[in-house]
Amino acid sequence: MPAHAAAPENPGNFEIKADGYYGTFRFDFGGDVPIAGSVPDLEGNATVGMVQNEVNSEGIEGQDGDVYSRSIGSLIDASAMDTEIPTHFYAAEQVALPEKADPDTVGVHDLGVPGIGNLRGISSEVKANWNDDVLGHGSQGGVLTELYSGVGQLDLVDAGEVGQLSGILSSMAPVDLPVGDGPLFSMGEGQLLQESGVFGKEDGSQGAYLEVSGRFSDLNLLGGAENGGITVGLAAASDTEEPNAWGRLEATGEPGGASFDYELPALELQVGGQEGVEIEPGFDETFEVLPGVSVNINFADYRDDDIEVADDGTYVAASGGGLSARLIFSLPVPVAGDIELGHAEMGILSFPEASVEVPQGGLYADGGDDEDDDDHEVLGVTN
């Protein structure tokens, strides 16, 4: 197939989008705090395993030439104390057209981000497709974009290594923290996968789909439950390398043909030596861990307000999912009440945007009778 081949003939306009991340983290301590006075201001943020995938039969906006599918896996993007950390170049990206035979990959081991933390290892593999084996009237379909991202052990904001932060916490916190010389957050190994493509229908036209999946790993706050802190982990027999969170969006272009199905695992919350509490999707609770230290745990279900399923089967969209843990440090003050000194927040496995849109009847709905699955015209090339 020539790399400069024309756009697919008569598919009708269709589009698939996925935008998400494996983990995100941010912290904000200090500044002008009433009563406590002025202290050093510490801010930082990091996104690990960010993904962006798009398919558009009219071409991807911002790309030169005939580019119809695009997949990006970014290892880490971070900043600390108003300074951008030069990590954004750790990314794998692939577009089609032209289509490459092999995926693009990127990986790194033992990545230290100043002021943020340490990442034991992370890798991404991306692939973008656009060819007449996948697209066309009578075709059985196939994959247009796919991405895999694997994340190793992640330790964030080690108070012993970030001297300023250690000093702020020790001077302002009303109690000794159980993590005086360790990370505020740590997270075990996990993974994130995404796949989008098209599938054949009985009349020879095609529908489109998007699948996202991942694996929740144990999340430890303040040294974890064994050290008097907090652990949010997977319940029972979930110590597997297979994904334990999954979602699929599908649109056929036929009435009733748009759908969104998903599964999220049950998690377990442990605080110190207390008995574990089961966390189901939709859980949202704030509780005190130590005097002046509270935590909010939110295990977000996909938000009903952001789920759209068109009756005519042409469009489906969803947003949400994921686990977030927010540590809040405050100082009790008579009369004034608790004054927040700072906070740190970690989020895992979220897809803020996921959508599939196809024309009425599906792709290539006007392609005529499918007399031979091997005889279809696409991209200006006849097989």
DSSP 327-369: EEEEEEETTTEEEEEEEEEEEEEEEEEEEEE--TT-BTTTS--
Higher per-residue pLDDT: 245 or 172: 245
- The tens digit of pLDDT for each residue in 354-366 reads 999 999 999 998 7
pLDDT reading at 376 higher than 80: no
Q: What pLDDT is recorded for position 378?
A: 46
- For 166, list phi and psi in degrees, rounded to 5: -60, -40
β-pairing, 230-234 vs 245-251, is: unpaired
> Alpha-carbon distance 186 to 155, whole Å?
4
- Indicate whether 89 pLDDT > 70: no
What's the confidence (pLDDT) of residue 259? 97
Taking residues 173-193, what's their average pLDDT?
A: 68
pLDDT recorded at residue 38: 54
Torsion over CA: 135, 125, 27, 292 (sign): positive
User: In whole angstroms, what is the distance from residue 382 CA to residue 371 CA?
Assistant: 14
pLDDT of residue 371: 45
Question: In this predicted structure, which of 247-256, 334-343, 350-359 has the lowest mean pLDDT?
Answer: 334-343
The pLDDT of residue 153: 83
Question: Tokens 């605080």 appear where?
Answer: 271
How far apart, in whole angstroms, are the C-alpha atoms of residue 118 and residue 132? Answer: 44
pLDDT band at 375 (very low <50, low <70, confident <90, very high): very low
pLDDT at 315: 98
The predicted structure's pLDDT at residue 254: 97
More confident residue, 222 or 1: 222
Amino acid at 264: L
pLDDT one-digit tens code per residue, 291-338: 778 889 999 888 778 899 999 999 999 987 788 898 888 877 666 667
Determine how many CB atoms are found less than 10 A away from the CB of residue 184. 25
Alpha carbons 184 and 186: distance in angstroms, whole number: 7
Q: Which residue has better confidence, 255 or 27?
A: 255
Q: How many Cβ atoms sit within 10 Å of the Cβ of residue 7?
A: 16
Tokens standing for 133? 């084996």
Top pLDDT among 68 and 49 is at: 68
Q: Is 2 exposed, middle or buried (0-12, 13-18, 19+ CB in 10 A)?
A: exposed
For residue 138, give the 3-state DSSP assignment. Answer: coil
14: amino acid identity, one letter: F
Whether the upstream peptide bond of residue 98 has omega within 30° of 0, thus cis, is yes
Measured distance CA(299)–CA(347) in Å, rounded: 10
Per-residue confidence (pLDDT) for residue 233, from 0 to 100: 83
The pLDDT of residue 331 is 75
Return all residues near 8 (Cβ < 8 A) that are at least 6 apart: 57, 135, 136, 364, 378, 379
Rounded mean pLDDT, 234-240: 52
Residue 90 in this model has a pLDDT that exceeds 50 = yes
Rama region for 379: left / alpha / beta (φ>0; ψ in -120 to 50; rest)? left
Residue 35 reports pLDDT greater than 70: no
Question: How much is the pLDDT for 22?
Answer: 86
Measure the CA–CA gap between 107 and 109, rounded to whole angstroms.
7
Q: Which residues pair with 124 in a beta bridge?
A: 106, 149
**Are 245 and 264 contacting, i.e. CB atoms less than 8 angstroms apart?**
yes
pLDDT at residue 135, as a whole number: 95
8 A C-beta contact, residue 340 and residue 356: no
How far apart CA 47 and CA 62 sit, in angstroms, is 23
In the prediction, which pLDDT does 374 show? 44
Kindly report the average pLDDT of the chain as a whole number. Answer: 80
Percent of the chain with pLDDT over 90: 33
